[in-house]
Structure formats: C-alpha cells, structure tokens
Structure 1
Amino acid sequence: MPKSVWFLIIGMLVNTTGNSFLWPLNAIYMHDYLGKTLAMAGFVLMLNSAAGVLGNLLGGFLFDKIGGYKAIMLGIFLTVVSLIGLTQWHEWPHYVWLLTLLGFSGGIVFPSMFALAGTAWPEGGRKAFNAIYLAQNVGVAVGPALAGIVAEKGFDNVFEVNLWMYVLFFFIALLTFKRFETDSVVPKNVVSERKRITNKASLYALLIISSSSVLCWIAYSQWSATISSYTQDLGLSLKQYSLLWTINGLLIVAAQPLIAPLVKRWENNLKRQLVFGVVIIAISFGIVAFASDFKMFAAAMVVLTFGEMFYTPALPTIANQLAPKGRQGFYQGILNSATTVGRMIGPLFGGIMVDQFGMMALMSILVIIVVIAVIPCLVYDRPLVKRSKSTTVLE
C-alpha cells in the first residue's frame, strides 16, 4: 500500500473518531438533555444531513476544480469553527444552527477523501476504499466508547474533545495531504459523441446505485436516532449504547479474514456482494424489532455489521469505476450525498413513526425499505448495457 494511502487512513481515523464523539449522542442529547421530542430531534438531524448533502456536492465539485487538498482543508477549517461555537453555545436554538454548519463542513471532506484514495492508488481497486472504510470504523469503535465515558462526566466535555480531534486532523492534512495530491481537474476539451454517451450512461448507473444507498441509510440512521433513545428508555446506559458502536467498529476490522474468501470470490461481481450485504442488513432490523436488552441489541449490531462490511465498501469502488477521468470527485460527491440524504430522511421519518405507531411498526417498515434496496443493486448496470449498444452503433 502506498505511503500516501496510509496518510489518508490516519487522517480518516482521526476525523471519524472526532466525528463519532458527537453523532451517536445527538438524539440522546436533544431528547434527554434539551427536552425535545424524537420528531424534533429527527428534524434537527435532517437539517444537519441536508447541509451535508450540499457539502458533499460542493466537496466533489471542488476536488475536480481545485484539488482534494484545498477542498479538505476548507472543510476542516469550517468544522473547527463550528466546534468552537458548540463548545461555547450548545443550548437551544444555537445547537441547531451549529450542528447544521457542522453537517455542511463535514460533507465537504468525505468525497474528497475517497476520491483521493482512488487517485492515490488507482491500481488498488477495492483495496484502497476498503482501507479508508476500515479506518472509518476503527474511529467508530474508539469514538463512541470514549464519548460514552466522557458524556457521563458532562456533555460539555464531548464538544471539547471533538474539537481537539479536528484540530489534530487539521495538522495531519496540512502536513501530509499536499504531498501526494493528484491533479484531477477536468480537462477543458471537446467531448466526442461516444464519450458523451458513455458519461451519461455512467451517471445514470451511479444515480441508480445511489438510490440503494438512500434506502439503506434511512434504516441505518435509526441507530443514532430512534434506536439510541429507545435503548435509554429500556434502561441501557450511555456506556452500553456506546459499546454497541465499539462492537461495530472492532468487528469490521477483526472479521476481515472471515469475509475475505467471499469478497475475493465476488471481486469481479460486486452486484452479488451488494445484494448479499443488503439482505443481511434487513435481517438485523428484524432482530431489533424484538430486542429488549443489551444482548439482543448487540446481536442485531453484529448482524448489521456483517451486512455493512459487504455492502458499504463496494459503493465507492463502483463510483470510482463509473467515473470518467477527472470526475472522480463529482461521482464520489453524488454517492456521499445519497448516503447523507438517507441520513437526512431517516431520523425525521423514524421519529414520527415511533411517536405515532411505536418501535415495532418502525422496524417492520425498515425491513421492507431495506429489501426494496436490493432492486437498484440488481439493475444499476442496465444503462451501461445500453451504452455498449449505442457505442457499437457509432462505430
């Protein structure tokens, strides 16, 4: 693995550790500390994610126009500003505005990180994106575990530690990312008819597979929204809830040898990998529907994690494969936006469902939503088949 990818891995680890100090606890903080309903908490998280969608698109655009280093530094700077504000003002409504800005700034960073991984190690294929994915989840394992301990001593400490993690990320990016940045600016040339058709088909394929990500993240986001508050209602402590995320992150790293044979077998058939992952994710929410203690929630998290390990790393790999030269940032931005749209819709949808119909009804609907997400995984390459026919005609 190139040294440049290792720097990206370290940066993503620090970034995600800082980020995961706060996001699993947002719904709990608004519901239990600020006294807001789950629906209201879901609405605020929706604003955070909506800003993240704009940030994702801007981050991908900036990667292609000015390069990943500048785009990432801009995102980190805005994040630090947001967190300085949160350390001082985290009451209502200041929390809403600063959390929204935090979503926007964080959104700028992620597509550039994935696009940089693809350009820094193009021959690595799925390995480059899987490495970044693993770094994310080590951060998810470490962050919530520490956050649960810190939060019990006072939520003010959560904001402060989050801030210092991003300050560290700022210096890592400042000192290392500039060295290996690949010029990805789109060349200003006339595009041939054949290339226009190819790009259009690839974009359609990306939008189809992105719709699967939206559906899965509507469900997945419930773990940091409705499910987080539900565990508190059942008597689980903050430490136990945070431990669920630690299980998620550590298992993603520890279980790589277990899933390696299937991943290798499906290396040239990402569609099977996607479908298999989605089905396992759907099963996990069926388990949550009947969970009433820590062991059941832990079992659901383990099942969810195995599904996630097959599904999630395949998506940026597909986006990178579909992206025309010089458009990697734009394509990763769209894919990350889809994820963020799911996170935007999920908490509000889940909050309303739980307030009106209860947790069992929500989990039942989530199983159906995730199963529907199989369809885009099966048909996303249809535009590429039509493209092949069109380019044959042009010849």
Structure 2
Amino acid sequence: MGREMKNNRLKLGWLLAGNLISSTGMSFIWPLTTVYMHDYLGKTLALAGMVLLIESLIMIVGSYVGGRLYDNGKGHFWMLFTIAMSALALLALIFCNGWPAYPLLLIINGFTGAIANTIINALAASIKEFDASYIFNMMYFMANLGVVIGTLVVGFVVSINIRYIFLVTAILYIIFFLIAATKYSFENTQIVKNKSITKRKLNKKTPIGNILVIGGVLMTYLMIQIGYSQWQSNLSVYMQSLGIGLNKYSYLWTINGIIVVIGQPIIAFFDRRKPVNYFKKVYIGYGIFIIAFTSLVFARDYTHFIVSMVLVTFGEVIAFPIIPAIVDDLSSDSERGKYQGFVSISASLGHAMGPLLGGLIIGGFSYDVLFEIMVLLVMIFTCLSMGITYFKLKK
C-alpha cells in the first residue's frame, strides 16, 4: 500500500513538472506574438489581433477534440502525438518564422496544445489518492509559476536574439514530450484501477441536474473570462489614455504573478488540512470578481488599478483552480474528458470574444459602460448559477 501511494505521488509530481515546463515554454511565445508580428514582420495590429482570434477559436476545437479522445480511450496516443506536433511546430519556427509561416505554425501549436492540455487535465482528474481541489490547485500553481519564470527570462533572451525564443521553447517542449512519454501512465486511472466498477457504470451518462450545475458554473466562468481578457487587451490602452505608462501596466502583471505564486500553495495547504466546500469557494471567488470589475468603474489613477488587479487576482486564485474540480466531481467517469474540455473551451472562448466585444462597446459607448456591462453579466450569471446549484443540492 505504501509503495502504491508513493508511485501515485510520483505520478502527480511528474504531471506538475510537465505543467511547469510546458507553461514556461508557452510564456516565451504568447507575450511577444503581437510585438513580433508588428515590429519584426511589419503587419498591422488588426492583423495580429485576427491571428490571435483564429488561434483562440482553433484552441476551442482542440479542447473539445481532446476531451472526446480521452473518453474514447485514445488519450495516451493522442497526448504524445499532439505534444510531439507542438514540439515540431516550435522547431520549425526556428527556421521558418516569416510570413505566413509564423502564424500558421502558431495556430498548429495552439490546436495541438489544446488537445494535449485537455487530455492531461482529464488524466489529473483521474488521480483519486488526492482531493481534486488539491490537484488542480497545484496544477494551476505550476502553470502560473511557469508564466512568471518565462516572462522573467524572455527579456534576457530577446536582448540576445528574438529568434532564440523559438529555440528555447522547442527545447522545453522536447523535454515535456520525454516526461509525458516515460512518466504519464494511463493504466492507473480510476476506470482501470477499480475492478468493481461495472461496464454499465462506465457507460453511465452525467445526470441532467449535474449538467445544469456544470453549465451554470461554466457560463459564469465564461463571463468572467470575457471581463478578465479586458485586462490583457483594452485596459492597456485605457490606462495610457489616463496618462499611465505601459511600464506601469506591465508591473500590474508582476503583481498578479507574485500573488498567484505565493497564494496558491497556501490555499492548497489549507485545503489538504481542512477542505472547504467547492461551491462556497467558487462563489466567493465569483463575488470577488464582481467587486474587482466594479472597482474599475471608479479607477482613474494607478493606485486604484493596483487595487483592482489585486482583487482580480484573489478572485482568480480562489475560483479558477476549483472549477475543473467541480466539473470532475459532477461528471461521470465515461464523460470526464468531455466536460474537462468544456472548462478549456469556456476560457478560450472568453479570450477570443472578450477583446472584440470590449472594442465594440468602447467604440459605441465608453470604457465605463464596458465595465458596467462586465459587472452586470457576471452578477446575473453568478446568481443564476447559485440558484441552479442550490436547488440541485437541496434535491
């Protein structure tokens, strides 16, 4: 029993290591996409935005495909295949980084990466030796730690030669592939391990009540991601219009990263000692997002933007890691991959729609109207989700 637990702990450790390496690699690429296309390839910002929109939409498809592949028992092969394809696309970028090779390879990497990430999330959800909340907290922590490391190192690499970014990222993904090929075993999932589970249970569909609860949680998550994406797009322009420089805007993301990296292990530690009801946590996080988005209506100086970013980050740290845990808890074993795919789809769809919707609202009305609509949408869907959850749990 002790040896089995040790092996399971090791498997989780390798999942976390892979998550750290892959997120570090991708954090070399995504911050420079717009700058590289505009400054190095001479393309317009609108065209760069269109490429990012297409990539987000392709990632939505990839997330859905990844979930279906996992549920159909083909997760192991396709996880390795898609990680290998991502590594090959990144290797190709070292030599083919002009137009249109750069956006095409970027989109291929986004598609294959979305498939692999969904399969790996479903694999993580299958580990029953740890509470799902703890697993996803640690996965989320490693992903954000990778972003902090990547964004810190990327400036140094760019100062030497921007094309070295593609080399470093490709090397990291090759390491990621080797870890996945040798350490990511699908044989110890709950479905295979528990011999008492009958075929009927494996084929059991997720109850309609659970689907409604999942839908409510994910629709609110989508609204939050639409609002959150404003921080990564339109807020930088808004802050400059108020006389706040881009350097100060970038410091806000440093604050975001520090809070996530420090806060996530603390939450995971207390979760293991005294678990908190999943729904209480997610709705506390949603409530903090409502307060954070409301604060933007009154933000006119840098201090207020710092306060708003701190609130947004606390909401993110509390709510985001618990969402896949809720989905795992409510979905049947035979549809685990499908519903983990919907978690990724909600995030990708929010990032795809957010900047465009925000730009349309700002162009037609104002930034204040945008912030007020964000607050209203998140508040409405949070209330709907809470109502659905209450009646489902009561039943």
**Structure 1 residues 214-229: aligned runs within 5 Å:** 214-227=222-235
Checking the alignment, whether the CA contact within 8 Å between 1:42 and 1:225 is kept in structure 2 is: no
**Structure 1 residues 44-123: aligned runs within 5 Å:** 44-123=51-130
> 2:33 & 2:362 partners in 1: Cα distance?
17
Checking the alignment, whether the CA contact within 8 Å between 1:285 and 1:366 is kept in structure 2 is: yes
SS state of the match for residue 334, structure 2? Answer: coil
> 1:294 & 1:165 partners in 2: Cα distance?
36
Q: TM-score, normalised by structure 2?
A: 0.82
**Structure 1 residues 145-160: aligned runs within 5 Å:** 145-160=152-167
What stretches of structure 2 of length at least 5 have no aligned partner? 1-7
Describe the shift of the 1:19–1:124 C-alpha distance in structure 2 as closer, same or farther (beyond 3 A).
Answer: same
Identity across the alignment (%): 33
Which of 235, 242, 245 is residue 245 of structure 2 equivalent to? 235
Checking the alignment, whether the CA contact within 8 Å between 1:60 and 1:108 is kept in structure 2 is: yes
Equivalent residue letter for 1:7: W
> 1:22 & 1:315 partners in 2: Cα distance?
26
Q: CA deviation at 1:232?
A: 7.4
What stretches of structure 1 of length at least 5 have no aligned partner? 389-395
Cα shift readout 1:145-184 (whole Å, capped 9, x = no counterpart): 2224434555323333222221221111112113765275
- The answer to whether structure 1 residue 281 and structure 2 residue 289 are counterparts is yes
Which of 13, 20, 27 is residue 20 of structure 1 equivalent to? 27
Checking the alignment, whether the CA contact within 8 Å between 2:137 and 2:268 is kept in structure 1 is: no
Describe the shift of the 1:147–1:356 C-alpha distance in structure 2 as closer, same or farther (beyond 3 A).
Answer: farther
Describe the shift of the 1:91–1:301 C-alpha distance in structure 2 as closer, same or farther (beyond 3 A).
Answer: farther
* Greater mean deviation of Cα atoms: 351-360 or 85-94: 351-360
Checking the alignment, whether the CA contact within 8 Å between 2:331 and 2:339 is kept in structure 1 is: yes
Describe the shift of the 1:227–1:272 C-alpha distance in structure 2 as closer, same or farther (beyond 3 A).
Answer: same
Checking the alignment, whether the CA contact within 8 Å between 2:123 and 2:186 is kept in structure 1 is: no
Q: TM-score, normalised by structure 1?
A: 0.82
Which of 302, 308, 311 is residue 303 of structure 1 equivalent to? 311
> 2:87 & 2:236 partners in 1: Cα distance?
26
Checking the alignment, whether the CA contact within 8 Å between 1:48 and 1:103 is kept in structure 2 is: yes
- The answer to whether structure 1 residue 326 and structure 2 residue 320 are counterparts is no
Which of 246, 249, 259 is residue 257 of structure 2 equivalent to? 249
> 2:351 & 2:56 partners in 1: Cα distance?
6
> 2:235 & 2:140 partners in 1: Cα distance?
23
* Greater mean deviation of Cα atoms: 366-375 or 259-268: 259-268
Greater RCO, CA 8 A, separation 6+: 1
**Structure 1 residues 160-179: aligned runs within 5 Å:** 160-178=167-185
Checking the alignment, whether the CA contact within 8 Å between 2:133 and 2:325 is kept in structure 1 is: yes
Equivalent residue letter for 2:380: I
Checking the alignment, whether the CA contact within 8 Å between 2:79 and 2:119 is kept in structure 1 is: yes
Aligned to 2:383: 375
Aligned to 2:142: 135
Describe the shift of the 1:176–1:264 C-alpha distance in structure 2 as closer, same or farther (beyond 3 A).
Answer: closer
Which of 326, 338, 354 is residue 346 of structure 2 equivalent to? 338
> 1:315 & 1:349 partners in 2: Cα distance?
24
SS state of the match for residue 184, structure 2? Answer: helix
SS state of the match for residue 211, structure 1? Answer: helix
> 2:250 & 2:85 partners in 1: Cα distance?
27
Give the root-mean-square deviation of aligned CA atoms. 3.5
Which of 256, 270, 288 is residue 278 of structure 2 equivalent to? 270
> 1:231 & 1:256 partners in 2: Cα distance?
28
Which of 177, 189, 194 is residue 182 of structure 1 equivalent to? 189
Checking the alignment, whether the CA contact within 8 Å between 1:204 and 1:383 is kept in structure 2 is: no
Which of 196, 201, 219 is residue 211 of structure 1 equivalent to? 219
Which of 328, 339, 348 is residue 356 of structure 2 equivalent to? 348
* Greater mean deviation of Cα atoms: 303-312 or 119-128: 119-128
* Greater mean deviation of Cα atoms: 41-50 or 101-110: 41-50
Equivalent residue letter for 1:75: T
* Aligned residues between the structures: 382
